[in-house]
């Protein structure tokens, strides 16, 4: 049966060890706003890129105040810094938080729009400043996506989703990820796997192109995650992880994520659990909840994560996907219960209410999630 769809390929991609040192070639002349975080700066990961920009004659203004789950106040301070520096372009360098701030800062600086006018989907329609994104973790896929998530007062997560936020260039330099701790490698890698799985099963906008990318992303990530965890200096594994995370990002930019993310966001907002870990904690419970609606699709994905599932019946392949993901998370040393990150039974009502605010994501879930369903899912994850 024919299917009508549209597909956006995202930023132009540059990949390879050492490629971050050549980002000046991708930017126009003029001052550069370099958005990152203090840990990236303290580790020296940005030194080569900053020096290369300066050697190319660029004035570089560094905004390194980005925190996990970046706040509106942080975003506004970065925009003010860029405006004061007369920035002609923006570089986002780091994990999902610096890249999310860089995307919105570049848009707001270039467009002059008011932030409160662009929340939601496709409300940002003007042109931002030229933007280059350089991920230092293989997880969020933020360098590929049109989405930026900001934390508002009272820990509400709010997003802007628009093609106007997509970077002109994404640079995948696996050398930047070689020193990542095992825990970060595991959490971000499994975050990318969630992106691929949810894109493949999205109730809206799933299409043959997003399916192809989601499957290849999941294959790359599943085949290389444990190698990257146990042999952190393995360049081919790191390169495969970065590419897998990017492909998953392109996939879910077109076929958006769903229930796992909707229930993960309140854990980040209220308990400051890293986003990748939040997804991992909710993943098996949401997949099990979705089984009646998504079993054939989960069966197709099962052998990509565990090749031993090939040839089994569909039910066994779908159940095997959940068990393989559980085993992978455990082998990587990740906690399996919300209680390990400070969640107690008295928090469940608030978490469920917060999850219901994520209708942008919940509408993409293969099975409807009610307030009571959300509470039961959190309870199961305790």
State yes or no: pLDDT of 30 exceeds 70. Answer: yes
- Given a contact cutoff of 8 angstroms between Cβ atoms, the answer to whether 345 and 382 are in contact is yes
Note the pLDDT of residue 3: 81
Assess whether 134 and 192 both reside in one domain: no
Domain containing residue 183: CATH number: 1.20.1090.10
Segment holding 74, helix H or strand E: helix 72-85
CATH of residue 23's domain is 3.40.50.1970
187 shares its domain with 144: no
For residue 274, give the nearest of 137, 146, 159, 161 by alpha carbon: 137
Average pLDDT of the chain to the nearest whole number:
95
The pLDDT tens digits for 210-253 are 999 999 999 999 999 999 999 999 999 999 999 999 999 999 99
Q: Which two tokens stand for residue 100?
A: 């999310």
> Based on the domain organization, do 127 and 86 belong to the same domain?
yes
Domain total for the chain?
2
Give dist(CA 268, CA 68) in Å, integer: 9
- For 92-103, letters b (16+ CB in 10 Å) and e give bbbbbbbbbbbb
- What is the Cα–Cα distance from 382 to 374, expressed in whole angstroms? 13
Which structural domain range is residue 226 located in?
Answer: 179-381
Q: What is the pLDDT of residue 2?
A: 57
pLDDT at 36 over 90: yes
pLDDT at 1: 44
- The answer to whether position 2 is within a domain reads no
What single DSSP character describes residue 65? B
CA-to-CA distance for 75 and 104, rounded, in angstroms? 8
| pTM for the whole structure | 0.94
Average pLDDT over residues 299-309: 98
Domain final residue pick, 175, 200, 234:
175
Q: Which of 125, 156, 175 is the last residue of a domain?
A: 175
Mean pLDDT of 306-319: 97
Q: Which of 175, 197, 219 represents a domain boundary (last residue)? A: 175
For 144, what's the count of Cα atoms within 13 Å in the CB-facing half-sphere?
A: 28
pLDDT in tens, 76-109: 999 999 999 999 999 999 999 999 999 999 999 9
User: Are residue 141 and residue 285 in the same domain, yes or no?
Assistant: no
Q: Return the half-sphere exposure (C-beta side, CA atoms, 13 A cut-off) of residue 277.
A: 22
Token pair, residue 365, equals: 């879930």
The three-state secondary structure class of 311 is coil
Does 224 share its domain with 355? yes
Q: How far is CA 108 from the centre of its chain?
A: 21
**Distance between CA atoms of 250 and 224, rounded to whole angstroms?**
19
Q: Let me know how many helices (H) and strands (E) the chain has, helices first.
A: 13, 9
Structure tokens, 86: 């007369």
């Amino acid at each position: 049966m024919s299917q009508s769809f549209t597909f956006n390929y995202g930023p132009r991609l540059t990949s390879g060890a050492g490629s971050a040192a050549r980002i000046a070639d991708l930017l126009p002349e003029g001052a550069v706003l370099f958005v990152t975080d203090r840990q990236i700066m303290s580790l020296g990961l940005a030194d080569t890129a900053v020096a290369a920009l300066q050697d190319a004659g660029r004035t570089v203004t560094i905004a390194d105040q980005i925190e996990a789950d970046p706040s509106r106040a942080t975003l506004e301070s970065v925009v003010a810094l860029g405006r004061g520096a007369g920035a002609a372009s923006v570089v986002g360098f780091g994990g999902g938080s610096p890249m999310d701030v860089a995307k919105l800062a570049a848009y707001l600086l270039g467009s002059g729009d008011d932030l409160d006018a662009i929340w939601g989907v496709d409300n940002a329609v003007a042109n931002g400043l030229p933007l280059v994104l350089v991920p230092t973790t293989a997880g969020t896929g933020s360098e590929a996506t049109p989405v930026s998530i900001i934390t508002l007062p009272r820990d509400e997560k709010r997003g802007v989703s628009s093609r106007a936020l997509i970077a002109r260039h994404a640079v995948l330099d696996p050398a930047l990820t070689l020193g990542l701790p095992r825990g970060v490698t595991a959490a971000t890698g499994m975050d990318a796997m969630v992106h691929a799985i949810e894109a493949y099963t999205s109730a809206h906008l799933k299409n043959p192109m997003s399916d192809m990318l989601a499957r290849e992303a999941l294959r790359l990530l599943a085949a290389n995650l444990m190698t990257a965890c146990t042999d952190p200096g393995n360049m081919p594994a790191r390169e495969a992880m970065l590419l897998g995370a990017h492909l998953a990002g392109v996939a879910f930019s077109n076929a958006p994520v769903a229930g796992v993310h909707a229930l993960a966001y309140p854990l980040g907002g209220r308990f400051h659990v890293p986003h990748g870990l939040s997804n991992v904690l909710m993943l098996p419970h949401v997949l099990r909840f979705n089984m009646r609606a998504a079993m054939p699709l989960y069966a197709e994905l099962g052998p990509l994560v565990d090749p031993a599932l090939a040839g089994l019946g569909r039910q066994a392949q779908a159940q095997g996907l959940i068990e393989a993901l559980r085993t992978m998370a455990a082998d990587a040393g990740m906690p399996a219960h919300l209680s390990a990150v400070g969640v107690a039974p008295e928090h469940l009502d608030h978490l469920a209410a917060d999850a219901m605010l994520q209708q942008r994501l919940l509408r993409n879930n293969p099975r409807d999630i009610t307030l009571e369903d959300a509470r039961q899912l959190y309870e199961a994850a305790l």
